[in-house]
Amino acid sequence: MRFAKKIVLGTAAALLVTAAGFPHQIAAIYHSSYPADPHKAHALALCQQDNSSFIRFLPSERADCYARMRTVVGDNTGIWSRHDRSVMHLAQLTHSQLTR
C-alpha cells in the first residue's frame, strides 16, 4: 500500500515538474482543446457526446471533429455542396440569377 502511494506521488510530482518546465506548450494544448470560439467549443462538445472515445487533446481528433461539424464551426468556404451554404449566400445566388 505504501509503495503504491509513493508511485502515485512520484508520478504526480514528475508531471508537475514537466508542466512547470513547459508552461506555454501546456497552455497552447489547453487553449486548443477548450477554444474560446463558441462554434468550435460547441462542435467539440457534440463530438464528445457522439463518441465516448473522442480525445479532445489530440490535434488529429479535433481536426476530424471540425471536419465532421463544419456547419457548426461556420467554415463556409464554398467548397462544399449547396445545402451547406448559408441562407444569405443562397439568397444572393438566387438574386443574381434573377437579375440576369
CB burial string 26-46: b at 16+ within 10 A, e below: eeeeeeeeebeeeebeebbee
The more confident residue out of 94 and 20 is 20
Q: Is 0.75 topped by the overall pTM?
A: no
Structure confidence at residue 71 as a pLDDT band (50, 70, 90): low
54 contact partners, CB below 8 Å, separation of at least 6: 47, 48, 61, 65
17, 54: one domain: no
Structural domains in the chain (count): 2
What is the Rg, in whole angstroms, of the alpha carbon atoms belonging to the chain? 22
49, 81: one domain: yes
User: Which range marks the domain in which residue 79 is found?
Assistant: 34-98
Tens of pLDDT, residue by residue over 12-27, are 998 888 878 877 887 8
50, 13: one domain: no
18, 53: one domain: no
39, 58: one domain: yes
Q: Cα–Cα–Cα angle for 9, 14, 19, nearest 5°?
A: 125
85, 58: one domain: yes
92, 56: one domain: yes
Averaged pLDDT for residues 67-81: 61
67, 85: one domain: yes
CB burial string 49-78: b at 16+ within 10 A, e below: eeeeebebeeeebbeebbeebbebbebeee
47, 93: one domain: yes
